[in-house]
Amino acid sequence: GAVVSQHPSRVICKSGTSVKIECRSLDFQATTMFWYRQFPKKSLMLMATSNEGSKATYEQGVEKDKFLINHASLTLSTLTVTSAHPEDSSFYICSASEGYGYTFGSGTRLTVV
């Protein structure tokens, strides 16, 4: 079945630095990938839709200059949290669809200290 790989699984960074999270579709091509954020005991919230070769589409309230998304190839999308602050600490998950349902990555736990 479809596999989505996400790295890193955990990252701790200092406030003010930037962090890049990678999402790869391993055995299929994904023209569209999705980035979600999840707060403790809360549901997943869609942040943005990543489109290969074009600009990402951000959900209302998500700062596009803070959460930079690049989808340079059909198998890789990256989310960069720029100038991270403690309130950016969260669980970030990506997903992609092979055409039948959605497959999710294993998530990235970001802690900003």
Partner 1 sequence: KQEVTQIPAALSVPEGENLVLNCSFTDSAIYNLQWFRQDPGKGLTSLLLIQSSQREQTSGRLNASLDKSSGRSTLYIAASQPGDSATYLCAPLTGANNLFFGTGTRLTVIP
Give the interface with partner 1 as residue ranges (CB under 8 A): 6, 32, 34, 41-46, 49, 91, 93, 95, 97, 100-107, 109
Q: Could you tell me where the beta strands, DSSP code E, fall in 1-113?
A: 4-7, 10-13, 19-25, 32-38, 44-51, 57-58, 67-73, 76-81, 90-97, 102-104, 108-112
The phi, psi pair for 88, rounded to 5°, reads -85, -10
Cβ-based nearer residue to partner 1, 38 or 70: 38
**Shortest spacing between CB 12 and partner 1, in angstroms:** 14
Cβ-based nearer residue to partner 1, 14 or 41: 41
Quick one: DSSP state of residue 88? Answer: G
Residues 1 and 110: their CA atoms lie apart, in Å, by 28
Cβ-based nearer residue to partner 1, 9 or 18: 9
**Shortest spacing between CB 57 and partner 1, in angstroms:** 10
Cβ-based nearer residue to partner 1, 40 or 86: 40
The one-letter code for the residue type at 19 is V
**Shortest spacing between CB 61 and partner 1, in angstroms:** 13
